[in-house]
Structures are given as C-alpha cells and as structure tokens.
Amino acid sequence: MSDIQTNLPDTDYFFLGDGRLMAVIQWSRNRDASPYGILICDPERMSRKQGALLHHPELGLSRTMLSVIVNGIHHQPRHEDVHAMWDFNGGPAVVVRWKAGDVEVSERFRVQETSSHLIRDVTIIAPDDAMPIEIQAGLYANPLYFDEFGTRPVATLYAAGYTSITLYSVPSGRAFERFLTVRAEVPRNGVAATFIYGIEAVGTHEFSLYPGTPPFPSLSPPAAPAVTLGTSFDAALRNAGGEDHPPSLAARIHELYTISRASLRASVSQLGKFDASIWQYDFEWGMDAAMVATAAVTAGMFDLARQILVNIFRRLSNADGMIAEASRFRDGEMAELNGNGAVLDAIWHYWRWTGDTTLPRAHWGRITAIADYPLRPEFQHPSGLLRTRRDFWERNPWMGIDDGFEIGHQVFCSVGLRRAAEMADALGRHDDAARWSDASKRILDAMINHPELSLIERGRFIKRRRADGSVQETLLPDAGYRNPDYAPYIPAMPEGPTPLPCEPDITQALPIIYGLIDPQSPVALATMEHLRSLWNPVGNGGYARYNIASDPDSPGAWAFASAFMAAAEIETGLEERATGTISWLLDIAGRGGSWFEYYGPRQSPPHPPVGIIVWGWAQYILLVVKHIVGVRVIGDQMVIAPKLTGIDHDIRFGGHRIRIAVRGRGAAMLDGEPIALETGAARIALPLTADHLLEFMP
C-alpha cells in the first residue's frame, strides 16, 4: 500500500482544521493507494505522513474508508467510483461520493470549531427504502502512538497511548473490537449517520500557556471575504476563443483563493505553529511564518495572523534578533537576513490592517532586536549593502556562495526596515524610526544606484555581487571553509569541482514584486526576459527557483516561486505569460487545492519526502489580493488598482470592510459618488470609519 507516499501521482489532498485538529482527506485515483482516506494530525506536533494518527503501517489508510453493508453484503469504495470535492456551503467541508452496489453514498467531512471534532456525515440514497443497510467505520489508530484499543459505553471506540482518540456515532451504533456499525434509518435522502472523531493530543494541553482573548471580538469569527473573478485577463479570453466561452480561468482563481484561505487556517496550530512543508521537514522557518502571517492579514484572518506573529516573537526569533531557519538560529555570515525583513513586513501588515497597536507595543523590544540585527557591523559594507555568505535559498560557502551581496537580503530588509520605521513613528519611537528609515534608504539606493556595487548589471537585476565588485555568475564550493561549528555539515569536497550556474534566479524579480522600481522600466522588462528561461525546467510547466543545473536537491518547478513570477508578470504587464503561470498553478494544485513544495525528480532517500508547502497557499493569497485585485496600503490611503474586470472582493480593514466590485476600469464610484482614478487606482483615506462600496465601471 502506497498511502505513505506523499507525492503519489493522481492523488489530491484536502485540508480541514481549526488549529486544534488538522484533518486531511486524501483522494487517489492511483491503484497503488486507497481510493480515499483520512489523515488526522495534531497541528501542535509535526510528523512525517506515517505519523498521522490514523495511518496504519500495514494497512495504510484503507481502514479509514467506510464499508456499507447492503442486504448483508459488504461494499467498499472502488477507485472508479470515488469522487471528492470541496463544499463551502456552511463552512469548509469535503464531500466524498461513491457507490455501494446500487446504493449511492455521500460523505461530508468538516471540523466542528466549537469542539475541534472531525464530523463525518453520511448520506445514503438507495433504490428501495426497505433495503436493509448498515454503515461501518473502523478505528485502526497508528501503533506508533497507541498501544491500547477497545470500546467504551454508549458504543464508542477508543485508542490510547501517547495521545487518545475516540470514535462514536449519531445515532448510536454497535461497537465491536475496532469497528462501529450503524443501521441506516430513513430518510434515505438525508443524513443516515454521523461519525464523530475526537482527539486529545499532546498539543491540546499547551493552549493554557498563552492565555488571552482575541482582540477582534466584534468581527470574530470573521466572514470569509468573497472573491468572484468574472472576466479573466484579455489574453486569456483571446486564448479561450472570446466572450462566447465562460471565464473558466477567473472562476478557478476564485475557487482556489477560497480553498487557500481555508487550508491556511487548517495547517496552522492554535499557537501559530506549522510545518513549513507538511510531512517533509518537521521544522519551522521564521521566513515562511512571516509570509503566512502577511497573507492571513490580507485575507481578513486577523486572529490567525496574530497567533503566528506571537509564535515568531516567542519561538522563531531570539533576543539577539535572529530569525529561525529550520527551527535553529544561525548568525554572522551564515544569517538568512531576508527573514528579518519579511518578519518586519508581516508585523507592519498586521498593525496597519488591524489597527491593533497592543501586539507591537507588547513586543517592541523583540521588534527592535529583529530590525537592528541586519544593521550589526558584521553585515555592514561602506556601500550601504548587506554583506553575507548566505543566499535566499539557504546555500552557503561549501555550496559555493562567496562573500558578497544577495538581492533577496537587500529587498526584504529594505522593505521591512521602511515598514518598521513607519510603525515606530506612529508609536512614538522616533529614534528607532529615523535609524531604520535611513538604513532602508541606504540599502535601496546602493542596490539600484551604487556605481560599482549595484545589483544591476547589463541592464537587469543580478542575483549576487561579490564584495570585490565582480558578479557571482557561478557557484564553486569553498574547499577552504573551516568554521568548526559547521564541520559536521560540510561534505567532502570533490577534486576539480565543476562550476555551477548562479543565475537566473527567481529572487531577481523581487524588486518588481515589492514595487521598488517602475515595473515598466527597461530594467524590469530586461529582468523578466532573463527569468523566462526558468519556465518548464523538467517538462511539466512552472518556474524553477533557480537554474536546475545547480539544484541537486529539488530540481523542478517550485509552487511559491511560480506565484512570485506570476505577480511580477502581472506588474510588468506580461499578461499572456501571467495567464500561463496562473493556469499552471491552478492545474498543478489539483482538486484539493494544495501544492507540493516543488515538482520534479528527487533522491528520496536520502532526501526527505516532498511535502505540501504552507507558503504556497500564502503566496497565492498575496498574488490574488495584492496583484490581481490590486490592493495596497500606502501611507494613510488604501490604493486599489484591479488588474481584472468582474471582481467582487471584500477587504477587511480594522473594524470595517470595503466591498470591491469591478465591472470595468474606466471610472469608479465610492458609496454611489464618483471618485477620481489615478493611473487606474482608487484611493480611500485611512483609517476607515464606515463600511464602503467601491465600484469600478467601464
């Protein structure tokens, strides 16, 4: 049974959860796996896939499927009969349909937020109402965690060990050994039985560590922002054959936004923790957490963003201001400084979009340390650039990263320090504001304008320049690197190593994505042309994170790197390319709407299995909100410049909302009154004092 394999072909994952329980419905058309199955996880504790609470080492997920007994004959799902889909009527749910002979079976899975139980409603449609039907569920809990199995009064199955899990039903059934059997009573067209799974996991005992109530009681739980994208890019419509064809791309963009929002909530624990790539790493990254928090804010999930940021302050940063990478801290020339900038950007988004000053005030000492860390002498260069031997993708000296300046570090730190300065000024920390604002300007000016060391060469952005001024175009391992702390990690150096290409690299698009240069400038367009070669690295579409000739670990298209490129393509007006990139993201996400970290060959073992990357959902949300819907906060204004028509989108900002309806891009009305457009953008003063309706018209 191949249920343990994470990236089995023709297999989709649907994520449900509320922070206390994460349930994943696996639907596979692959004959080597169960047709469908349930993975239940404690989101406070990370594990490989084989560590899911209902995964069995011999039986895989097969015992998580139902049996339906018709006229005494047992029926189980068959690959050709099983279909799974999302259902957002009444909250996120997954529906699995199959046939038991002539009987139609429909299972609806949801996580009940009031109890954190997984609810499994079963509907039966039979040709004969008098036909005797029973529904049977099994509880084959993972023996890695459980060593006690049995029944309890009122027909309840249980397993206990390092954690505990229970299964009971409504109406009550008959429990025997590891099976619970319920007679399916009328009505046949309604819910015949509901099975309820509850867990008491290690992580559930930790919630009392961080007491406190949500700061947004008037808006909790928040209504899901609606995003209906009607008409797609002009290029997509042309490719589809014109207006006579339905705008399928746009409808799918909307659907995947809704799925990404629900999946983000499902993957993050109540304490703000998540495995950066589920079933792959069992580690946390401050960089990933920052991007997820930023996406949660822009998607209106303020409480979720706060939980993630608190986790960053308490666990994913330290008193020195370092940001955790793979659940560890590395300083000096090995520091991953882009994490500092991304965290500052996330805090700013939370502060600006929620209006909540309590969180930054409570953690100002840690924020100061995070902002000041990149300004330490070991990172400073007279040019103003930040100097390290680490790159955005965590490569290091023994992988060929030379002493110099990384574009990802400059972009994120320049943006983050500018954001931190704005926040500091608003909170009365004017000395901090001046220091960070000056540093942000120095970094940005040097990156673009320094006469010898700028990160522009041959009319486009480069990935990295050495401290001696030369462009780093190749990677050659430093055989002389001798830092004793890293000796266990340094591999044996080959004789006469082959130089590997350092470019192109997706990070070269970051100045465009973050608005640091005019997206229509020759530099931006030349950079995008340079990055075109990263498309379709192994023949299945998408963008590689960098030239795969230098990627022995994960060669192939990366999900969030492709979302980066889609954003840059939109901003530079490359509509046809953007349409292709977005279409690839939609296709590769499958029916479940989840992305693996990358798509391509891998040596596993020794490398870990490829997991579902949480940053993928976050970057897709940012792609929709910031680049497709076109929502930005600049100073004391919300600037909205949609790139599509047919958009209906709700923005949650502070205690109010803006409903955005886009039927054209020639004129706009705010609450029924004309509002001026500046280069296609409407501007609304902040803070909001009421809800608004913003309408764009032809």
Q: Are residues 362 and 249 in the same domain?
A: yes
| Edge-first strand listing for the sheet containing 73-75 | 73-75, 67-70, 133-138, 179-183, 174-176
Asked whether residue 260 is assigned to any structural domain, the reply reads yes
The residue among 653, 633, 639, 637 whose CA lies nearest residue 685 is 637
Which pLDDT belongs to residue 241? 34
Paired tokens of 51: 């560590």
Q: pLDDT at residue 268 above 80?
A: yes
Residue 678: DSSP 8-state: B
Helical (H) or strand (E) element with 75: strand 73-75
Paired tokens of 359: 């969180």
Q: Are residues 654 and 526 in the same domain?
A: no
Confidence class for position 426, pLDDT limits 50, 70, 90: very high
Paired tokens of 146: 């459980």
Asked whether residue 579 is assigned to any structural domain, the reply reads yes
What number is the average pLDDT over the span 14-35? 96
Q: Hey, which bits of 425-516 come out as E strands? A: 456-457, 460-461, 464-466, 474-475, 500-501
Which pLDDT belongs to residue 189? 59
Q: Are residues 463 and 594 in the same domain?
A: yes
Domain boundary among 628, 647, 679: 628
**Could you give the C-alpha distances from 402 to 447, 478, 508, 609, in angstroms and in order?**
18, 8, 18, 30
Instruction: Note the Cα 604 to chain centre separation in Å.
Output: 23
What is the CATH number for 450? 1.50.10.10
CA distance 298 to 319: 28
State what percent of residues in the chain have pLDDT above 90. Answer: 82
Paired tokens of 604: 């596993």
Q: Residues 579, 565: contact at Cβ < 8 Å?
A: no
Q: Are residues 380 and 511 in the same domain?
A: yes
Asked whether residue 49 is assigned to any structural domain, the reply reads yes
Three-state SS for 349?
helix
What number is the average pLDDT over the span 443-456? 98
The residue among 61, 64, 66, 63 whose CA lies nearest residue 103 is 66
**Residue of higher predicted confidence among 95 and 644:** 95
pLDDT digits over 229-238, tens only? 333 333 333 3
What number is the average pLDDT over the span 653-662? 93
pLDDT digits over 391-423, tens only? 999 999 999 999 999 999 999 999 999 999 999
Chain mean pLDDT for the chain = 91
The residue among 531, 534, 551 whose CA lies nearest residue 543 is 534
**Residue of higher predicted confidence among 227 and 67:** 67
Q: pLDDT at residue 240 above 90?
A: no
What number is the average pLDDT over the span 440-465? 98
The residue among 613, 646, 644, 593 whose CA lies nearest residue 256 is 593
**Could you give the C-alpha distances from 453 to 222, 444, 445, in angstroms and in order?**
48, 12, 11
Q: Are residues 607 and 681 in the same domain?
A: no
| Count of structural domains within the chain | 3
DSSP letters along 494-532, please? Answer: PSSPPPEE---BGGGGHHHHTTSS-TTSHHHHHHHHHHG
Asked whether residue 499 is assigned to any structural domain, the reply reads yes
What number is the average pLDDT over the span 64-76? 96
State what percent of residues in the chain have pLDDT above 70. Answer: 92
Q: pLDDT at residue 61 above 50?
A: yes
Angle at 627 between CA 626 and CA 633, to 5 degrees: 35
Q: Are residues 341 and 230 in the same domain?
A: yes
CA distance 639 to 677: 10
Paired tokens of 680: 């296609």
Confidence class for position 201, pLDDT limits 50, 70, 90: low
Q: pLDDT at residue 88 above 50?
A: yes
Confidence class for position 202, pLDDT limits 50, 70, 90: low
The residue among 406, 451, 432 whose CA lies nearest residue 347 is 432
Helical (H) or strand (E) element with 361: helix 358-362
Q: Are residues 197 and 258 in the same domain?
A: no
Taking the C-alpha atoms of 363, 367, 370 and 372 in order, what is their torsion angle to the nearest 10 degrees?
-130
Which pLDDT belongs to residue 505? 98
Asked whether residue 2 is assigned to any structural domain, the reply reads no
**Could you give the C-alpha distances from 641 to 57, 246, 598, 683, 690, in angstroms and in order?**
52, 24, 31, 9, 21
CA distance 289 to 272: 9
Domain boundary among 175, 209, 243: 209
**Could you give the C-alpha distances from 167 to 67, 118, 194, 197, in angstroms and in order?**
15, 10, 10, 5
φ and ψ of 655, to 5 deg: -95, 10
CB atoms within 10 A of CB 137: 25
Q: Are residues 175 and 199 in the same domain?
A: yes
Q: Are residues 638 and 623 in the same domain?
A: no
CA distance 323 to 345: 13
Paired tokens of 178: 């590891």
Asked whether residue 3 is assigned to any structural domain, the reply reads no
pLDDT digits over 287-325, tens only? 999 999 999 999 999 999 999 999 999 999 999 999 999
pLDDT digits over 563-579, tens only? 999 999 999 999 999 99
Asked whether residue 4 is assigned to any structural domain, the reply reads no
Q: pLDDT at residue 243 above 60?
A: no
Q: Are residues 192 and 246 in the same domain?
A: no
What is the CATH number for 185? 2.70.98.40
**For residue 596, what are the β-bridge partners?**
612
Token look-up 């909100």 returns: 625
CA distance 684 to 665: 16
Confidence class for position 613, pLDDT limits 50, 70, 90: very high
Which pLDDT belongs to residue 129? 76
Residue 162: DSSP 8-state: S
What number is the average pLDDT over the span 587-597? 96
Q: CA end-to-end span of the chain, whole Å? A: 56
CB atoms within 10 A of CB 47: 18
Asked whether residue 1 is assigned to any structural domain, the reply reads no
Q: Are residues 85 and 190 in the same domain?
A: yes
Paired tokens of 662: 């886009």
Taking the C-alpha atoms of 431, 437, 439 and 445 in order, what is their torsion angle to the nearest 10 degrees?
-160
Domain boundary among 209, 226, 246: 209
What number is the average pLDDT over the span 56-76? 96
φ and ψ of 236, to 5 deg: -65, -40
Q: What's the domain range around 659?
A: 634-697
Q: Could you give the count of Cα atoms lying within 13 Å of 650 in the half-sphere of its Cβ?
A: 14
Q: Are residues 174 and 239 in the same domain?
A: no
CB atoms within 10 A of CB 148: 10
CA distance 535 to 504: 11
